Structure 1
Amino acid sequence: MDKKRKENKEFTILLNKMNNEGYIRKDHIISVKNANIYGILTPMPFILVTIIYYILNYKSFNNSFQFGVVNFIIILIVSLLIHELIHGITWSIYCEDKLKSIKFGFNLSGLMPYAHCKEPLSKKGYMIGALMPFLILGIIPMLLMFIFQNNFLFFMSIINILSAGGDLLIALHLLKYKNIKVLDHPTDPGFVAFEKK
């Protein structure tokens, strides 16, 4: 059995288990179109605050870091890898099987690394895991940029806040629920919410 079929089979088994335990399934799959549109719009308030601050205070910034194509690519690649690692490690804290419930991989068609949680989590656990890269790689560098006024921190925060657009979108979808279990979708961007009948 190939890898994708095995993952889908495991996912189906979990869906059936949750159904048998009295949960109602609600899929929240984000289309590529919506991910592209709202994934950029959702983090925009944070981006605007960062850019406006940078423009207003540019002269006092330490400009030793030169932002070019090579530096952009390096920051992006390293950040994306760390971003997914943070998702996986944070989710594993809330998993019964810890890191055994986390799958790391690389999507060749989208040229993107990913972390996938194979275990249903509480809303709190899933949301914390979804937002942790945004906080660690985006918001903390942004706050440090306000203090140290450093070009590198500016670029790092912008790249990572934008990279977390999909995560912010997922967090917004989660806010409409109170007491749910959340299962990461194995193949599509999004999750499945389980509410008690």
Structure 2
Amino acid sequence: MTVKGIDVSSHQPSDFSTSGLDFVIVKATEGAGYINPKMLAQATRAREAQLIVGFYHFIRPGNIVAQAQFFTGHACSMEGDLLFADWEDPGVSGADKDRFLSELKKLRGKSHRVGLYCNRDYWLNRDKTDNAGDALWIADYVTSGAPRITASWLFHQYAEHPIDSNIARFSDRAALRAWATLKRD
């Protein structure tokens, strides 16, 4: 069983359809200076539809700790929202990705699930540690729920047109919400 969701950035409108969705993951920040100007409106749209909300940060080369601080300081997240590192820039090493996840867990790991978004090529050919935090969100544009990896994944981005479409491995929205809001000591 799976639940359905989308991810959005400033390229998508703030009045996207929430019909049939269980979650929405919103781009919050990028590098050490970009903030999605539609982030608050997009997150509000998802919350008003009672969907699970997540945020992601597009990691760029540079001060990784400062980027994690920038992300947590500017994402309009609430306790229990999902937080993801978006690892797509070829100038960001696997060690940088791991450092970002580590810092993000230090900053928000007790109140948020922290995960990794990357495409199949990065996971299979660039990653050397299999560190995805609490959840691997894999992009592979194939049949929904059948990414071509052997690693355990929780989220699968299976299409990018007309909007980034995702599924998550949970029996229903309540199960996803329960997982997302689990508090850790």
After TM superposition, is the score higher than 0.5? no
> Which TM-score tier does this pair reach, normalised by the shorter chain?
under 0.3
Please say which structure displays the higher CA radius of gyration. 1
Higher helix share: 1
TM-score by length of 1: 0.21
Q: Which has the higher contact order (CA 8 A, sep 6+)?
A: 1
Higher strand share: 2
